[in-house]
Amino acid sequence: MHLVPTQEEVLALLRQTGALREGLFEYPNGRIANHHLQMPLAFRNYQVMRTLSVGLSRRVRANAEIRAVIPDLSVVAPATGGLPVAFGLCEALRARRVYWAERENENEPLRFRQFLEQERSEKVLLCDDILRSGRKLKELKNLCAANGVEVVGLAVVVFQPNPDMEDLGDVPLFYLAKLNSLFKSAADTFAGFKPGQVPIKIWV
C-alpha cells in the first residue's frame, strides 16, 4: 500500500473489512443509495484505522498553511463517528490536542461539554469519518466560528456527497476516497433492480 493510500486501495480495504457495502439502502431521509458505509467495521481493526488516519494526515500535511500551524492545531470532531479519526489524526500529525462536540439527543444542537471552552483565535481542523450531506460539519464549523475560532480545514476518510450537500465554504477539504454513490427516491430506478427487492433500512 502507498504511503498515501490510493482511492482504489482505500475502497478495497473498506470492502475487505465489510465497511463498504453494495446493494440498495434506504436512509432515514427516504433516499435510496447503492452504497452504504459502516466505518466502525473498519475502525475496530486498529491497524486499518491507523493506516487510514496516517494516510489522511499526509494529505493534510501537504497543505503548507496547515503544516505551519500544526504545533498549535486542535483536531475537533462531532461525536461519535469522528472520534477515531480525530485521535488518529492528532497522533499522526502530532497536533496540540483533540476534543469533540456532541448532542444529548437527535433534536439537540451540537455542543461541547461543560467547562470545555475554545480559545479565541484557536486554529482547528474539523474531521469526521464520512462526509455526505455536510450538515454535522457545517453545524460544528458554525459553532467554532461563534466562539471566535478559525477553522483551517476539513478532513474525512470518505467523501460520499449526496444531492443535498451543504455549502461548507472555501475551507480546504481533504479526503482519502470519493464514493460517487447514486441517491434516488425509488428502488426500481436502479440498474439491476429485481422485482420484490426491498432496500435495507439504515438507522445508524
Q: Where are the beta strands (DSSP E) in the chain?
A: 20-26, 32-37, 73-78, 97-101, 123-131, 150-159, 173-178, 183-184, 200-201
Q: At what angle do helices 7-17 and 46-61 cross, to 10 degrees?
A: 160
Q: Which residues of the chain have pLDDT under 70?
A: none
CA distance 19 to 82: 15
Q: What is the pLDDT of residues 134-162, one digit of tens each?
A: 999 999 999 999 999 999 999 999 999 99
Could you give the domains of the chain? 46-181 (3.40.50.2020)
Whole-number percent of the chain with pLDDT over 70: 100
Provide the grid cell at 27: 436512509
* Residue 17 near residue 45 (C-beta atoms within 8 A): yes
Global pTM exceeds 0.85: yes
For residue 54, the model assigns a pLDDT of 97
Provide the grid cell at 198: 426491498
* Residue 73 near residue 125 (C-beta atoms within 8 A): yes
Question: First-to-last CA distance in the chain?
Answer: 30
Amino acid in position 101: A
Amino acid in position 164: D
For residue 1, the model assigns a pLDDT of 78
For residue 107, the model assigns a pLDDT of 86
